[in-house]
Amino acid sequence: MSSAVIWDVYESPIGLLTLIAGDGGLRGLWFPGKTPVPPESARRPLPAVTEQLEAYFQGELRAFEVDLDMRGPALDREVWRRLLDIPYGRTESYGELAARADPELFPGGIEPWERARIVGAANGRNPVSIIVPCHRVIGADGSLTGYGGGLHRKQALLELEGSGRPDPAWKTRQTSLL
């Protein structure tokens, strides 16, 4: 199996997104400064991804159909898989997400109430944000907590999906988010 990596940049309403794909599918969707950029010689269009992102940001797409090649420890992969189960326009707390994860994957001796923090850390390592919707995970009290792209972007994504504090003018505020 080849380990060829290609990449491109997508200019979204919430800022530039670096897309990285391998033979197995999309490996990364990163906000500026969050990952090293591969060599310019590996830059190629990723139309299957960018077309879906465009439709998502226009409010026309609710579920992505993108091959993913996400790599990480078993617990991280379990959390990322569970993120895909959170419907568009809905949110879930870290504790709720932890309760849905396979308990056998957590380290021994961890109390159930401690799993939310472990899940939060795995959520934060999600390499394919937006498509694997880590922005849909919030604090138990409904607060917006932790997002690699910044809480302002998390808020914008939730508003786009109608699960945050609704603000129909979110698209006109996009440049102020950066």
Residues 6+ apart with CB under 8 A from 13: 57, 156, 171, 174
| Dihedral angle over CA of 135, 141, 116, 147, nearest 10 | 30
Q: Residue 39 and residue 168: Cα distance in Å, rounded?
A: 39
Residues 6+ apart with CB under 8 A from 1: 23
Picking from 68, 65, 67, the residue whose alpha carbon sits closest to that of residue 56 is 65
* Amino acid letter for position 25: G
The SS3 of residue 104 is helix
Rounded to 5°, angle at Cα 76 from 60 and 152: 45
Which residue of the set 134, 137, 156, 158 is catalytic? 134
* Amino acid letter for position 105: L
63 in active site: no
The SS3 of residue 89 is coil
* Amino acid letter for position 87: P
Q: Which residues are annotated as catalytic?
A: 134
